[in-house]
Structure 1
Amino acid sequence: MEACHSRSNSASQSTTAAQTVALHSYAGKSIFITGVTGFVGKVVLEKLLRSVPKVERIYLLIRSNSRYPTAAERFQAEVATSTIFDVLKDEGEAEFAALCQRKLRFVSGELTAERFGLEESAFAELAAEIDLVVNCAASVNFREPLDDALATNTLSLYSIIQLTRARKVPLVHVSTCYVNGYNEGTIEETIAPPAQLSLPRNEAGFYDVEPLIASMQEKLATLSANISDQDQRQAALVELGIELSQQYGWNDTYTFTKWVGEQVLLQHLGGQALTILRPSIVESTLFDPVPGWIEGVKVADAIIMAYARQKVTFFPGDRQGVIDIIPADLVANSIIVAGAEALGGMPAHRVYQCSSSEQNPLTIKEVIEHVVYEARHHHTNYRKLFLRQPRRPFIMIPGWLFHLGLGMAYSAGACWQTLKGLLGAEASVALSNLDAARKLAGVFSFYTRPRYRFSNKKLRALASRLNDEERAAFPMDTAELDWQHYFRRVHLPGLNHYALDAKRARLKSAAPQRRPVATEVVKVTS
């Protein structure tokens, strides 16, 4: 891996290395957060409200829509009703409403629009109010049309840059460990090079991606001009994204456009405090606000779900491969502590990886064993996850064998009878299950045959600079994480209750309550 060799950044980072980091850096400060309607954004917001009481204001950028014409209304309907806030609501609905009234300010805007769609004067007023920007927004669809992924994960950052430049405020940008693409081995906390096609680097050590962005935009314009049918155009945009991503050394459009976004920030924020925080595969919370809280079905869960429903019983991957999973609350803690460092330290470019594979490696074999054990012995505890006890084991096979088997299965005649016997299902069901396996493999098989481990030495060094009390309140270390306990007593129960039984949980959370009083700051222009 090639490290950034900007002299000014190296000097400022070494200056702060021995300094303590304290959460009181947030005292009297105002934070601007994007992506609060998403999974990680909610966990960050909840932790700030509950555990960083001295923060002055939290500005939330939320896109309005036809149903909720202001950011405040959408927050009340889609965010405040989330079960993530149940612990805060235990203090009382009136107290939660008062807390939101004191701390939160809402900005109705569109992340991908210039200046978020705000009038120039409103944007300037917003920039004058904030002391820290935390960018949690992302399009995490691995098969997103290229135009949408590029707009959200890359081009939106130009408005973020403009916002921070007004007062040179720090930025904590949430990226992903998988910006490292097809690179193998130990992946350090530094600038990730393309694994395949090379790109030019400037004198500061950053990759010059402006020509690449222009080239992608040109390809997008040509494609859109040549395909009039909307469905065909969307499919072509997805395929173009996958093609370009893999050409340069990334598995999917999400990770590719996130990498390009990192380079944009590094290039344009010279002399400013920029922290790039890269989580690995983010799953349910370990401790806070409750064990097992999760929203939606994440990377590992899609395969778990397919097995639980017996849609997929074999999958391409390396059983001994180390899969990097990180609980969401450890990610949120890392973001908040990195923000405290940026507020209290010298301007520098910092890269942290919030990961587990270096300290506490978890093999795919272990994950399978935990899931299959619960399926066999405790499936009745998972009303939504296991509709019935799975009858067949889950088998991880080499990729070449998986694809060979699929090819044989889709061919005619004799092979089909053999396949029916192996799968123990009617032909139509077996064919449907094969199709499910094929689709899942197309999206996720890269993550089930890992050839890398993500180093988090710098993040651990950051944690060591907290005092004992704050290190206990904001844990980031995975060294002592008991994976058996996490999967069998935390993650799978949380997946069943919060993600799959979300409607019931949300209704309980939203049952008669006083909604938080909302303060709208600025609205998107028409």
Structure 2
Amino acid sequence: MKGKSFFITGATGFLAKAFIEKLLRATPETGKIFLLMKADDQEAARKRLHDEIVNSGLFELLKQTHGNSYEAFMTSKLIPIVGDISQNNLGMDPETADMISKEIDVIISSAARTIFEDRYDLALSANTMGPDQFMRFSKKCKKLKLVLHFSTVYVNGMRHGIVPETPLPRFEIEHEGKLVSEAARTFLEGEMTRKMKELGLERAMIHGYHDTYAFTKAMGEMVVDSSRGDLPVVIVRPGIVESSYVEPFPGWIQGDKVMDPMILAYGKGQLPGIFGDPQAVLDIVPVDMTVNAAMAAVAKHGVDAKPGLTVYHPTSSVVNPLRLHELFHLVHRHFCHSPMRDSKGEGIMTEPMKFYGSLQDFSSYISKIISEKEQKTKQERKLKYLKDMAKLYGPAMFSKARYDNTNARRLMEEMTMEERRMFGFNTESIDWEHYIMNVHIPGLKKHVLRGRQT
């Protein structure tokens, strides 16, 4: 990766930001890193770069390394580019697009809308049409050696058993775009958001997906595969990406991810039970392991630049399964030892998590708990929130799939001991007790709650 120039979309997002940090820390000799950003103009893009990346606490080790020259180092490497992944030439002006097409060696595609029940038009534009646009742009790049696309294991839909690291079967994607355009003409302005969300869920279910996010990401993969031509392409599909295990420091996270709203609600005494199978296996992977897997893939496939598509699962469910009841047992232990505080500063007591196999039983239980604890004015709102959360996360709470990581393990086995020390991502080595109790939940308290307890 020394001397190579990168082009990264979704640069201010959780995963891309961690990738940028590790790239600069591990290979400071890397070339320029162009960061595509939504902004009104170049000055606004520079401000986003400064506020969301250069000033981010994630880069503390780099600040310590470079001292007073830190900002100069960062601005010499990181070049903000105004653009939009859903537009032609990724929304860049012709001169900028031409300049970048002559310089970059590697494209990292990380931009996405990650709202599960998103508006279908917006999710389709970002998660499906976005990959179409960056693949079109990739074809114009003169010395491009690799396109790496971040996806998710949930593009595999409602599958059971062992899910392999293979490309997805394709179907007619163009029809979905036409469907959205036709629907948009019939929906009234005041109902557009609700109707588009309903349409997304309806189309997802028809094609075997639980939510709009996974469905549109799957179609994005299909676009990448069908349009790659002779380009070398890697797709990295992690499981549920959570806080850092080790690097650059344990527990760093940006925003609350899939499991985190439930963990925090439980710690606050708001969620004493969940809709889920206690034996369901979760596929959690720390963000630093996901980043290291991507970097190892860049190092391997960005050298020979052979045409083809390779899929990697940096996942844990086959080699180091964590069951739902095991997760919440560890969560319970943490909050017993280090409880959240109520508005009076008193520790909130938590009981062992209860599991409900039917939405009806869960709703009945929650209704009873709320009616006992809350004023009537708050009951209906809280009940709706908890029911919506149960429906939203239900698929993960009952998952029967485990995601094979044979390709990822083979990639790591090909690394030297020094490379493994720098870029290791052995999910089998994760100590779940240590990670959940001592790393992840303290990270949530620090970076998501920012010291707030209620």
TM-score band by shorter chain is: over 0.9
* Secondary structure of the corresponding residue to residue 426 of structure 2: coil
Cα distance between partner residues in 2 of 1:472 and 1:225 = 55
Question: Could you list the per-position Cα deviations for residues 208-266 of structure 1 after superposition, in whole angstroms to 9, with x for gaps in the alignment?
Answer: 43xx33x2222222322222324x11111011001100110011111101110111111
Question: Is 1:303 equivalent to 2:262 in the alignment?
Answer: yes
Question: Is 1:149 equivalent to 2:106 in the alignment?
Answer: no
- Counterpart of 1:118 in structure 2 is 92
Question: Could you list the per-position Cα deviations for residues 162-193 of structure 1 after superposition, in whole angstroms to 9, with x for gaps in the alignment?
Answer: 22212353100000000011011000100234
1:254-269 matched pairs, under 5 angstroms: 254-269=213-228
Relative to structure 1, is the Cα distance of residues 383 and 432 closer, same or farther in structure 2, using a 3 angstrom cutoff?
Answer: closer
Contact 1:274 1:350 in 2 (8 A): yes
Structure 2 counterpart of 1:468, from 400, 408, 417: 417
Question: Is 1:226 equivalent to 2:186 in the alignment?
Answer: yes
Question: Is 1:447 equivalent to 2:396 in the alignment?
Answer: yes
* Secondary structure of the corresponding residue to residue 90 of structure 1: helix
Contact 1:353 1:455 in 2 (8 A): yes
- Counterpart of 1:203 in structure 2 is none
CA RMSD between the two structures: 2.3
1:303-342 matched pairs, under 5 angstroms: 303-342=262-301
- Counterpart of 2:338 in structure 1 is 378
- Counterpart of 1:236 in structure 2 is 195
Relative to structure 1, is the Cα distance of residues 489 and 420 closer, same or farther in structure 2, using a 3 angstrom cutoff?
Answer: closer
Cα distance between partner residues in 2 of 1:33 and 1:425 = 47
- Counterpart of 1:53 in structure 2 is 28
* Secondary structure of the corresponding residue to residue 125 of structure 1: helix
- Counterpart of 2:135 in structure 1 is 161
Structure 2 counterpart of 1:485, from 425, 428, 434: 434
Cα distance between partner residues in 2 of 1:261 and 1:460 = 25
Q: Cα distance, 1:409 vs. partner?
A: 7.6
> Could you tell me the percent identity over the aligned residues?
29
- Counterpart of 2:6 in structure 1 is 31
Relative to structure 1, is the Cα distance of residues 238 and 69 closer, same or farther in structure 2, using a 3 angstrom cutoff?
Answer: farther
* Secondary structure of the corresponding residue to residue 319 of structure 1: coil
Counterpart of 2:323 in structure 1: which amino acid? T
- Counterpart of 2:360 in structure 1 is 403
Cα distance between partner residues in 1 of 2:384 and 2:427 = 36
User: When the two structures are superposed, what TM-score results if normalisation uses the length of structure 1?
Assistant: 0.81
Cα distance between partner residues in 1 of 2:361 and 2:384 = 14
Question: Could you list the per-position Cα deviations for residues 49-100 of structure 1 after superposition, in whole angstroms to 9, with x for gaps in the alignment?
Answer: 100123111111111148x843222111222221101111123542211221
* Secondary structure of the corresponding residue to residue 374 of structure 1: helix
Larger radius of gyration: 1
* Secondary structure of the corresponding residue to residue 112 of structure 1: coil
Question: Is 1:178 equivalent to 2:154 in the alignment?
Answer: yes
* Secondary structure of the corresponding residue to residue 259 of structure 2: helix
Cα distance between partner residues in 2 of 1:57 and 1:222 = 42
Counterpart of 1:457 in structure 2: which amino acid? T
Contact 1:312 1:433 in 2 (8 A): no
Structure 1 unaligned regions, length at least 5 = 1-25, 194-206, 411-415, 504-526
Contact 2:81 2:92 in 1 (8 A): no
Counterpart of 1:485 in structure 2: which amino acid? H
- Counterpart of 2:243 in structure 1 is 284
- Counterpart of 2:101 in structure 1 is 127
Question: Is 1:270 equivalent to 2:246 in the alignment?
Answer: no
User: When the two structures are superposed, what TM-score results if normalisation uses the length of structure 2?
Assistant: 0.93
- Counterpart of 1:100 in structure 2 is 74
Contact 2:244 2:253 in 1 (8 A): yes
Relative to structure 1, is the Cα distance of residues 111 and 502 closer, same or farther in structure 2, using a 3 angstrom cutoff?
Answer: farther
Question: Could you list the per-position Cα deviations for residues 426-454 of structure 1 after superposition, in whole angstroms to 9, with x for gaps in the alignment?
Answer: 55555444222201012111111110100
Counterpart of 2:339 in structure 1: which amino acid? H
- Counterpart of 2:448 in structure 1 is 499
Cα distance between partner residues in 2 of 1:190 and 1:387 = 51
Cα distance between partner residues in 2 of 1:420 and 1:178 = 33
* Secondary structure of the corresponding residue to residue 105 of structure 1: strand
Relative to structure 1, is the Cα distance of residues 273 and 301 closer, same or farther in structure 2, using a 3 angstrom cutoff?
Answer: same
Structure 2 counterpart of 1:84, from 58, 64, 82: 58
Cα distance between partner residues in 2 of 1:390 and 1:297 = 22
* Secondary structure of the corresponding residue to residue 158 of structure 2: coil
Q: Cα distance, 1:379 vs. partner?
A: 1.1
Contact 2:163 2:403 in 1 (8 A): yes
Relative to structure 1, is the Cα distance of residues 428 and 478 closer, same or farther in structure 2, using a 3 angstrom cutoff?
Answer: same
Cα distance between partner residues in 2 of 1:218 and 1:495 = 41
Contact 2:329 2:352 in 1 (8 A): no
Cα distance between partner residues in 1 of 2:342 and 2:48 = 31
- Number of corresponding residues: 448
Contact 2:273 2:362 in 1 (8 A): no
Contact 1:352 1:458 in 2 (8 A): yes
Cα distance between partner residues in 2 of 1:420 and 1:369 = 21
Contact 1:420 1:427 in 2 (8 A): no
- Counterpart of 2:325 in structure 1 is 365
Cα distance between partner residues in 1 of 2:375 and 2:194 = 31
Cα distance between partner residues in 1 of 2:270 and 2:87 = 40
Counterpart of 1:277 in structure 2: which amino acid? V
Relative to structure 1, is the Cα distance of residues 28 and 391 closer, same or farther in structure 2, using a 3 angstrom cutoff?
Answer: closer
* Secondary structure of the corresponding residue to residue 168 of structure 2: coil
Contact 2:156 2:168 in 1 (8 A): yes
